Amino acid sequence: MVRSSGRRQVIVVDRLRKAYGPAPAVDEVSFSVEEGEIFGIIGPNGAGKTTAVECIAGLREPDGGTVRVLGLDPQRDRAALHEHVGVQLQEGAMPPKIRVAEALELFASFYRHPASADELMVLLGLSAKRHEYFKRLSGGLKQRLSVGLALVGNPTIAVLDELTTGLDPQARRDTWELIEHVRDRGVTVLLVTHFMDEAERLCNRVMLVDHGRVTALDTPAALAESAGGGTHLSFLPSVPFSLEVLTRLPDVSEVVRLGERVQVTGTGDLVPLVLNALAHVGVQTHQVQVHSATLEDAFVRLTGPPTAAAPLAEVGRR
Amino acid sequence: MNATFTLIELKRIARDRTGLFFTAVLPAFFFIIFGTTVESKDTAIGSGNVATYVMISMAAYGAVTATTSTGGQAAMERMQGWGRQLGLTPLKDAHYVGMKAVIAMVVAGIPVLLIYALGAWAGARGSMGAWLGSGLIVLAGSAIFALYGVLIGTAFRSESAVGVASGSVVIFAFLGNIFITLSGPMLAVAKFTPLYGYVSLARYPLTQGYLPDGSWEPLWVPLAGVIGWGLVFGMLATWFVKRGRDRQ
């Protein structure tokens, strides 16, 4: 269960399959999550993200394939699993008249080695609201509390599903910081989201799921680069120069003149590479603009309209 | 037994003013109206008087309202997000059910204690056996209506259905010889309704089986009613819970 990176694999999913009708919701999905990382599952609505997570959390029984979480079978070893895996559900509702502190203390009472509810409230920024009823909390605070419930058992792994859906921009940013805090405490995070900026900001690696299948799995930067055409750098040179200076660079794929400006397209650490090469031949650059392909570009390209299904399947086989 | 869970559940129930009004205050009010202000309140019945008879009836009505709504709410909770959330913790199903059973009994105890205290103060008289026996039967027997709540909640899957279930207790109470004294053909029909056996059994320590219309019934009649309806509710609740699971 140790990969070449040397880190322990805490979740291993192998050819997972789950169908609710004739069409499979999750089809031959395989991936593994390393200890200490934030692993993102992204994909359009109805792609099968939540179903996959529910199989991992032991809420659903897979039709085929295997799932191992910390070496446990989520179906057979449910009780042991829930001691170590905290789960925040997409539609986790609480009774309207339960107070914040009560909800945390209640969940703490289910675990053998719970976290302190008071400390969690500090971490979650909920201390001032400890006596508030659940129904009076704002959307962002409700989500915070629900993250708290996933953490109160001192889990090794936290599964967070569509955490920031419906939150305003500030609340989303606060929640992101919170997730980073959680990761810094040593908790492995499995994050399900359909927000690309969220995955890009938080995740060490992301898996793109579409129509129940894995279409890509890599770091957000690598995914963006592979599908979105890399980085575009454009500038105004101080003196004319031969474009060959740049075209012969290893990571540069294209160099074009746009009027007085020069635009370079490539991958990798394009910016220092280009600037160094130009400095070597005595060319200074002005008005430098850089546009990097984002995960969103990759997402749109990979999931795209239904007609783009063929190239998408090809990526999936990589 | 999880003390934290039980305590927090009890606090939540204490915060539900509307619920407490219907389970405790209203039956207590009915007792005062029908049991202590009527002329016949001191008329002897069995080992006690009419006030005692009405006291037992209203305590039974309150207890059943309480267990029906507790059972219904538990069923709703299990199916909604909260139940799924609890299902993701190490909390075991058996602990949950056990805790809810304790809660249902405690909540059912509220109207019983309140109405029996009012009874003692307002002139209900009877042997110690009649007081204790009827109180215990009211409490224990109300448990089968928790199953009724569970079955309605699971069958209709809506908060309003649970409200309707507790409301239907009023109708059963009329049909079951609780609110009005039935006789003749109505009484014959009443013996087949869910609350009749339960309330008659609870009154048995007081009446020894004598009914207000002067007739007498053997113990097996209320017993059969309680056991029969207990089985019906139990089987239906199990069936609906299973069906609900398969659908998820």
Contacts of B8 in chain A (CB under 8 A): 98, 102, 105-106
User: For chain B, what is the mean pLDDT?
Assistant: 89
Do A213 and A242 have their domain in common?
no
User: Residue A158 domain-assigned?
Assistant: yes
Do A186 and A272 have their domain in common?
no
Put simply, whether A135 touches B (Cβ < 8 Å) is no
Asked if B15 and A110 come within 8 Å (Cβ–Cβ), the reply is: no
- Percent of chain B topping pLDDT 70: 98
pLDDT tens per residue across span A287-308: 998 887 777 777 777 776 543 3
pLDDT at A91: 64
Residue B216 buriedness (CB in 10 A; 0-12 / 13-18 / 19+):
exposed
Contacts of B2 in chain A (CB under 8 A): 109-110
Do A110 and A234 have their domain in common?
no
User: Residue A97 domain-assigned?
Assistant: yes
- The owner of tokens 């191992």 is A68
Q: Strand, coil or helix: what is A99? A: strand
CA distance A87 to A37: 16
Residues 6+ apart with CB under 8 A from B190: B175, B176, B177, B182, B196
Q: Is the dihedral of CA A231, A232, A236, A241 positive or negative?
A: positive
Cα separation values, B32 from B38, B59, B119, Å: 9, 12, 9
pLDDT at A85: 94
Put simply, whether A102 touches B (Cβ < 8 Å) is yes
Do A67 and A170 have their domain in common?
yes
User: Residue A83 domain-assigned?
Assistant: yes
Q: Strand, coil or helix: what is A284? A: coil
Put simply, whether A106 touches B (Cβ < 8 Å) is yes
Work out the minimum CA distance from A95 to partner chain B, whole angstroms.
7
- The owner of tokens 């959330």 is B85
Q: Is the dihedral of CA A92, A94, A96, A102 positive or negative?
A: negative
Do A136 and A184 have their domain in common?
yes
Q: Strand, coil or helix: what is A197? A: helix
Phi, psi of A124 (to 5 degrees): -85, -5
Which of the listed residues A200, A218, A236 is the one where a domain comes to its end? A218
pLDDT at A307: 39
Work out the minimum CA distance from A233 to partner chain B, whole angstroms.
49
| DSSP 8-state code for residue A263 | E
B119-131: average pLDDT: 91
pLDDT tens per residue across span B159-180: 788 888 888 999 999 999 998 8
- The owner of tokens 């899957």 is B157
Asked if B81 and A91 come within 8 Å (Cβ–Cβ), the reply is: yes
CA distance B234 to A292: 64
Q: How confident is the model at residue A316 (pLDDT cuts 50, 70, 90)?
A: very low
CA distance B146 to B141: 10
Q: Strand, coil or helix: what is B234? A: helix
| Nearest-10 crossing angle of helices A100-108, A139-151 | 20
Asked if B85 and A93 come within 8 Å (Cβ–Cβ), the reply is: yes
User: Residue A4 domain-assigned?
Assistant: no
pLDDT at A92: 62
Residue pair A142/A134 in contact (Cβ under 8 Å)? The answer is yes
Work out the minimum CA distance from B62 to partner chain A, whole angstroms.
23
User: For chain A, what is the mean pLDDT?
Assistant: 85
Residue in A closest to B92 by C-alpha = A79
Which of the listed residues A218, A252, A284 is the one where a domain comes to its end? A218
Do A21 and A116 have their domain in common?
yes
More confident residue, A50 or B134: B134
Asked if B2 and A109 come within 8 Å (Cβ–Cβ), the reply is: yes
Residue pair A252/A202 in contact (Cβ under 8 Å)? The answer is no
Do A71 and A166 have their domain in common?
yes
pLDDT tens per residue across span B204-217: 999 998 888 788 89
Number of structural domains chain B divides into: 1
CA distance B201 to B196: 8
Domain range for A201 is 9-218
Asked if B81 and A94 come within 8 Å (Cβ–Cβ), the reply is: yes
Helix (H) or strand (E) holding A81: helix A78-84
Number of structural domains chain A divides into: 2
pLDDT tens per residue across span B224-247: 999 999 999 999 988 888 776 665
Contacts of A87 in chain B (CB under 8 A): 88
Do A15 and A122 have their domain in common?
yes
Work out the minimum CA distance from B57 to partner chain A, whole angstroms.
32
CATH of the domain at A158: 3.40.50.300
CATH of the domain at A266: 3.30.70.100
Specify whether the backbone of A229 is left (phi greater than 0), alpha (psi in -120 to 50) or beta: left
- Span of A120-124, A180-184, B93-97 with lowest mean pLDDT: B93-97
Asked if A82 and B82 come within 8 Å (Cβ–Cβ), the reply is: no
Do A246 and A108 have their domain in common?
no
pLDDT tens per residue across span A191-236: 998 888 899 899 999 999 998 999 889 998 888 877 666 788 899 9
CA distance A54 to A51: 5
User: Residue A1 domain-assigned?
Assistant: no
Contacts of A94 in chain B (CB under 8 A): 81-82, 85
Residue in A closest to B13 by C-alpha = A97
Do A122 and A153 have their domain in common?
yes
Do A77 and A201 have their domain in common?
yes
Residue B218 buriedness (CB in 10 A; 0-12 / 13-18 / 19+):
exposed
Work out the minimum CA distance from B12 to partner chain A, whole angstroms.
6
pTM of the model: 0.75
- The owner of tokens 């889990």 is A155
pLDDT at A308: 38
pLDDT at A312: 36
pLDDT tens per residue across span A227-284: 666 788 899 999 988 888 888 888 888 898 888 899 898 877 888 889 999 999 999 8
Chain B interface residues (partner A, CB cutoff 8 A):
2-5, 8, 11-12, 15-16, 77, 80-82, 84-85, 87-92
Complex ipTM tops 0.85: no
- The owner of tokens 């059910």 is B97
Task: Please tell me chain A's helix, strand, coil percentages from 3-state DSSP, rounded to the nearest 5.
Answer: 35, 30, 35
Of the ranges A291-295, B13-17, B49-53, which is most confident? B49-53
pLDDT at B243: 78
Do A196 and A214 have their domain in common?
yes
User: Residue A165 domain-assigned?
Assistant: yes
CA distance B236 to B248: 19
Contacts of A83 in chain B (CB under 8 A): 90
Domain range for B205 is 3-247
User: Residue A2 domain-assigned?
Assistant: no
Which of the listed residues A182, A199, A218 is the one where a domain comes to its end? A218
Put simply, whether A57 touches B (Cβ < 8 Å) is yes
